[in-house]
Amino acid sequence: MLLTTLTPTSLSILLFFLFLVILLYLLNRSSRHYENKNSVVKAYDDWTEDRLLERLWGEHVHLGYYGETTERCDFRVAKEIFVHQLVHWSGLDQLPHGSTVLDVGCGIGGSSRILARDYGLNVLGISISPSQIKRARELTSSNSECQFVVMDALDLKLADGSFDAVWSVEAGPHMPDKQLYADELQRILRPNGLLIVADWNCRDQRFQQLNKIERWVMPQLLDQWAHPEFASISGFRDNLQKSSYNKGLVDTDDWTVYTLPSWFDSITEGIRRPFTILALGPIAVIQGLREIPTLLMMHWAFARRMMQFGVFRARSDAFQDN
C-alpha cells in the first residue's frame, strides 16, 4: 500500500537505500577484519586468485594520478601516470641505470615492471602474499630486470644497506607497527639511498578529531580491507625521521586531489567492462558488488579530508637541490 503512494523518484531513493543496507549487511557478514599478518595474506591471496581486480583494473592495484586539469583519462592509464609522477617527484629517475630498488608491497608487479622497463632499474618486488608473487612471476618476461619473492615488510630478510632505493605504494595501512615499518624501509638503504612511499593516511587527530559519522566510517575502512590502523601524514613522517636508520631529510606532500577520481573510476570500470565480471561467474558479480560500499566510503572520506593520500621521500644531500 505504501509503495503505491510513492512517486517514482521517492521509490528510486527507497530502493537505493535498501540496496545499500543489503550491501552493508553483506560487508559485515564478510568483514576482512585485521587479526594478524595471516589475515592480510588471506585477503590478498583471495583478491589475486579470483582475478577480478586484475581484469578490471589491470596490473596496478593502486590509485591513479589525474593531474590538475579537468580532463579525465582511462583508469588504467591514470595508474601508470601515477608511477611516473611518483618517480619524478621523488627523484628516482636521477638514479643511474642498473641501480637496485626494493618494491615493498609489489602486488602483482605492475609498478616493478615499469621501473625496470622505463628507468633501467633492477627491481626486487616483495609481497606477503604467495599468490601475488606467483602471479607477478607469471606476468614478468624472463628477460626483465625484475624478481619477486614472498617476504614480510616488517621482517625483511635483507642485509643492511643493500639497496639504492626503496619504493612502497599503499602498503603502510596493513602494517600494525608503523615505526618498525619505517625502520625496516630505511635499514636496507645504502648511504645516499632514496626512499619513496605513497600511502592512504588519516587526518591528524591532534588538530581535528573525527566527528560522530567519521567515527562510524573509520572502522569500516579498516575492517573491510584488513587494515590494523592508518597513520597520519605527519605521524608517519615522524616515524621516518626518528628512526635510527634515517638517511636524510623527509619531504612530504598531499596528493589527495590528484588521486580522488580513482575511487569512482574503480567502480565504473565494472560498468565499462561488464562482461569481464560476468565471464568470471556469479560469485565474481557478488564480490564486485560487495566492494562498492567500501569504495564509496573511501571516496567520501578522502573528499572530506578525513583521509589523505600522502607521499614521502627521504633523500640525502645528493638529491636535495633537484
The pLDDT score that the predictor gives to residue 51 is 87
| 298 domain residue, yes or no | yes
List the domain range (segments joined by +) for residue 252.
30-316
**Which residue in 199, 167, 230 sits closest to 34, CA to CA?**
230
Under-70 pLDDT residues of the chain: 1-31, 69-71, 316-322
The pLDDT score that the predictor gives to residue 14 is 58
| 10 domain residue, yes or no | no
> Structure pTM?
0.88
Residue 185, number of CB atoms within 10 A of its CB: 29
| 206 domain residue, yes or no | yes
| pLDDT (tens digit per residue) in 137-178 | 999 998 789 999 999 999 999 999 999 999 999 999 999 999
| 289 domain residue, yes or no | yes
**204 and 234 Cβ atoms separated by less than 8 Å:** yes
| 261 domain residue, yes or no | yes
**Which residue in 156, 100, 154 sits closest to 124, CA to CA?**
100
CATH number at residue 103: 3.40.50.150
Q: How many distinct structural domains can be found in the chain?
A: 1
Which strands, in side-by-side order, build the sheet including 146-150? 146-150, 122-127, 100-104, 163-169, 189-202, 307-315, 249-254
Hunting for cell 638517511 — which residue is that?
A: 247
| pLDDT (tens digit per residue) in 286-313 | 777 788 888 999 999 999 999 999 999 9
| 222 domain residue, yes or no | yes
| 17 domain residue, yes or no | no
| 16 domain residue, yes or no | no
